[in-house]
Amino acid sequence: MNNTELIKKGLAKRYRREKRFRAYGLMAVMVGFIFLAILLADIIGKAIPAFTQHWIKLEVSFDPDTLGIDEKSDEATIRDANFNAAVKKSIRSLFPEVKKRKDKRKLAAMLSTSAEYQIRDQFLADPEILGQTKTVWVLADDDVDTYYKTADKSKAVRLSDKQIAWADKLLADGLVKKRLNTTLFKNGDSREPEQAGIRGAIKGSFYTLLVTFLLSFPLGVATAVYLEEFAPKNRWVDLIEVNINNLAAVPSIVFGLLGLAVFINYFGLPRSAPLVGGLVLTLMTLPTIIIASRSAIKAVPPSIKEAALGIGASKTQMVFQHVLPLAMPGIFTGTIIGLAQALGETAPLLMIGMVAFIVDIPQGFTDSATVLPVQIYLWADSPERAFVARTSAAILALLVFLVVMNTLAVWLRKKFERRW
């Protein structure tokens, strides 16, 4: 048998192996896609109810006697006025047959507790309406909202039979309307699902990541440049290198403990603040950025460096005019991986108090805040059924945040990429 025949004999086997390998690859991609699709479908399916809210139409009478105020009352008195009574009165007027105290309380509980603040704000905006009766749409309580949204009415709902009857009647009378849930994007956290929103968490995440980026990017790139281009090759530098690589593998909760001990207890920085969160996440992100930046810098061809030096560029000029611009795409990729990791991080933030129940929307780096993943964790832990949908909605918001961030990174990378 000569060589040609030998090769021919093996060919079929080689091609079969190649085909099989391609099939495995395709299968792996498909499996990945299927899981991603299931995950997304599940999250989106669960999140959809959270994007709408039911409102109930009330005829509220701004009666001076009920409210306990008159024309001359100052703002403080108006703020303390009994708007709750006005709300209760108007819902009771829809169901005059309800007489028992217990039932009356249940009837009032069908409205969100935010109703009285809503009409208070309406009154404060226009005090002229004292004594008049106005049509007001107020939020339904989350249990009522959930009841309207549940297709299968036989499923266990947290409403009594009487409440179900009232809810059905309201719907039949056309006093209920479904609207887009803007509360979700306008409010901070709340114990009441119908008033809870993710704005506080989004802003918290934004501030925290901004601190992380502003600290970890320059620090990480400077470290990488120094280690790669300027550091002498000795045992100390080796030690630093080993430590940086090890830092990348430290469990994130340890960084949280470190942040608690150093930033909060020693330096006395405020608890639950995006500033401290950003500092802790910087510690966590730095090794990722340093390692990625170093390999990007290492990948710059030595011929370009020699060309720059050979023409009389100093080492610093070589680094800033040639090495860094060519390494930038790789550095951006590393940074975005690090920041995406930081965005999804929960554990270290628990340690520094960002898990606290914070209703106010943070206005700066030192205000108390929470972040999206922690918000998701908190809502997933809540017993109210309406929080199930809101948890999924928050996850979607986190994913959108991530996609926006990655898109920005890809765009930046394209902008800095140069043809070789």
Partner 1 sequence: MDANIKLKNELVDDTQTGLKTLQGNSTADMEQEIGATIGQQFVDKPKMQARNVDVFYGEKQAIFDVNMDFGEHEVVALIGPSGCGKTTFLRCLNRMNDTIPICKVTGDISLDGEDIHSKAMDPVLLRARVGMVFQKPNPFPKSVYDNVAYGARLHGLASNKAELDEIVTTSLQRAGLFDEVKDRLQEPGTGLSGGQQQRLCIARTIAVSPEVILMDEPASALDPIATAIIEELIDELRQNYTIAIVTHSMQQAARVSQRTAYFHLGKLVEIGETNQIFTNPQHELTENYITGRFG
Q: Rounded to the nearest whole angstrom, what is the least distance from the CB of residue 288 to partner 1 in the complex? A: 27
Contacts of 311 (CB under 8 A, 6+ apart): none
Using rule CB under 8 A, residue 307 touches partner 1: yes
Judge contact between 295 and 245, C-beta under 8 A: no
What is the H or E stretch that residue 315 is in? helix 315-318
Using rule CB under 8 A, residue 415 touches partner 1: no
Q: Rounded to the nearest whole angstrom, what is the least distance from the CB of residue 337 to partner 1 in the complex? A: 25
Using rule CB under 8 A, residue 133 touches partner 1: no
Q: Rounded to the nearest whole angstrom, what is the least distance from the CB of residue 28 to partner 1 in the complex? A: 35
Nearer to partner 1, 120 or 322 (CB): 322
Nearer to partner 1, 245 or 314 (CB): 314
Contacts of 391 (CB under 8 A, 6+ apart): 46, 376, 379, 380
Q: Rounded to the nearest whole angstrom, what is the least distance from the CB of residue 306 to partner 1 in the complex? A: 6
Nearer to partner 1, 96 or 232 (CB): 232
Contacts of 370 (CB under 8 A, 6+ apart): 189, 200, 201, 204, 272, 354, 355, 356, 358, 378
Nearest to 277 by CA among 359, 388, 219, 355: 355
Nearer to partner 1, 64 or 301 (CB): 301
Query: How many CA atoms does the CB half-sphere of 393 hold within 13 Å?
Result: 24
DSSP letter at 191 equals S
Using rule CB under 8 A, residue 18 touches partner 1: no
Contact code string over 321-360 relative to partner 1, x by CB under 8 A:
-x---x----------------------------------
- In DSSP terms, 133 is beta-bridged to 61
Nearer to partner 1, 294 or 385 (CB): 294
What is the rounded CA–CA span in Å between residue 354 and residue 208?
11
Stretch that binds partner 1, among 103-111, 299-307, 366-374, 403-411 (CB under 8 A): 299-307
CA dihedral 415, 416, 417, 418 (to 10 degrees): 110
Number of residues that bind partner 1 (CB under 8 A): 21
Residue choice 266, 312, 381, 383 for contact with partner 1 (CB under 8 A) = 312
Tell how strand 176-180 and strand 52-61 pair up. antiparallel
Q: Rounded to the nearest whole angstrom, what is the least distance from the CB of residue 316 to partner 1 in the complex? A: 10
Residue choice 301, 357, 360, 364 for contact with partner 1 (CB under 8 A) = 301
Contact code string over 357-386 relative to partner 1, x by CB under 8 A:
------------------------------
Q: Rounded to the nearest whole angstrom, what is the least distance from the CB of residue 323 to partner 1 in the complex? A: 11
Task: Give me 262's structure tokens.
Answer: 């150093």
Q: Rounded to the nearest whole angstrom, what is the least distance from the CB of residue 312 to partner 1 in the complex? A: 4
Please spell the DSSP secondary structure of 326-360, one letter per residue: HHHHHHHHHHHHHHHHHHT--HHHHHTTTTS---S
Nearer to partner 1, 305 or 390 (CB): 305
Nearer to partner 1, 312 or 383 (CB): 312
What is the rounded CA–CA span in Å between residue 165 and residue 95?
11
Contact code string over 202-241 relative to partner 1, x by CB under 8 A:
------------------------------xx--------
Judge contact between 63 and 85, C-beta under 8 A: no
Residue choice 2, 3, 4, 303 for contact with partner 1 (CB under 8 A) = 303
Using rule CB under 8 A, residue 418 touches partner 1: yes
Q: Rounded to the nearest whole angstrom, what is the least distance from the CB of residue 415 to partner 1 in the complex? A: 14
Q: Rounded to the nearest whole angstrom, what is the least distance from the CB of residue 297 to partner 1 in the complex? A: 15
Residue choice 182, 317, 363, 407 for contact with partner 1 (CB under 8 A) = 317
Q: Cα(first)–Cα(last) distance of the chain, in Å?
A: 49
Stretch that binds partner 1, among 103-111, 137-145, 214-222, 311-319 (CB under 8 A): 311-319
CA dihedral 378, 404, 402, 204 (to 10 degrees): -40
Judge contact between 332 and 416, C-beta under 8 A: yes
Query: How many CA atoms does the CB half-sphere of 172 hold within 13 Å?
Result: 7
Residue choice 304, 350, 359, 405 for contact with partner 1 (CB under 8 A) = 304
Q: Which residues bind partner 1 (CB under 8 A)?
A: 232-233, 301, 303-314, 317, 322, 326, 418-420
